[in-house]
Structure 1
Amino acid sequence: MTPELVMNIGRQAIEMTLMLSAPLLLAALVIGLVISIFQAATQINEQTLSFIPKLVGTFMVLILAGPWMLQMIVEYIRRLLESIPQVVG
């Protein structure tokens, strides 16, 4: 196992993590921004107001993007497991 191969596997793992987490994080970010603008406009300073919309939005994104995320992680794991003979030998 060469250092380049280890770096390549690590890079692919980080890329996969970013691709799978991006939809959920972006949804929470956008919803939080919208709620913050609403709170600033109405001067409602309730800290818990953004929790439920973020939770519902993240859940909806997970429902919509879940099949794609599952397909991506299954393909990544399949590629990783198929590369074991080349890595070991």
Structure 2
Amino acid sequence: MNDQSIYDILRQALWTAVLMSAPLLAVALIAGVVIGLFQALTSVQENTLTFVPKVGAMLVVFWVSMSFMTATLVSFFQDRVIPMIVGG
């Protein structure tokens, strides 16, 4: 195993992490913008108003996308990591 293969597997691992976290981050961004817009329009400045709906939305999206995240992680290990360990 040389340096190039280590950097390649690290790059692929980082890309897999980005793919897995993208749905959660997108929902957090959208929920934050919508709630911020609502707070600006109504002049309601409550900290729990931003936190609770954002966490609720993220939990729902996490529950819905768990199969995608699991399949992505399993395919990364089966296609990249395990053959590299076995093949040397």
TM over 0.5: yes
Q: Deviations over 1:10-67 (max 9, x none)?
A: 0001000100011001101100110000000001111221111111100111121111
Q: Unaligned regions of 5+ residues in structure 2, if any?
A: none
| Matched positions, count | 87
**TM-score, structure 1 length as denominator?**
0.91
Counterpart of 1:33 in structure 2 is 33
Distance 2:47 2:63 in 1: 26
Q: Unaligned regions of 5+ residues in structure 1, if any?
A: none
Counterpart of 2:58 in structure 1 is 58
Runs of 4+ in 1 over 3 A off after TM superposition: none
**TM-score, structure 2 length as denominator?**
0.92
Distance 2:86 2:56 in 1: 43
**Matched residue SS, 1:74:** helix
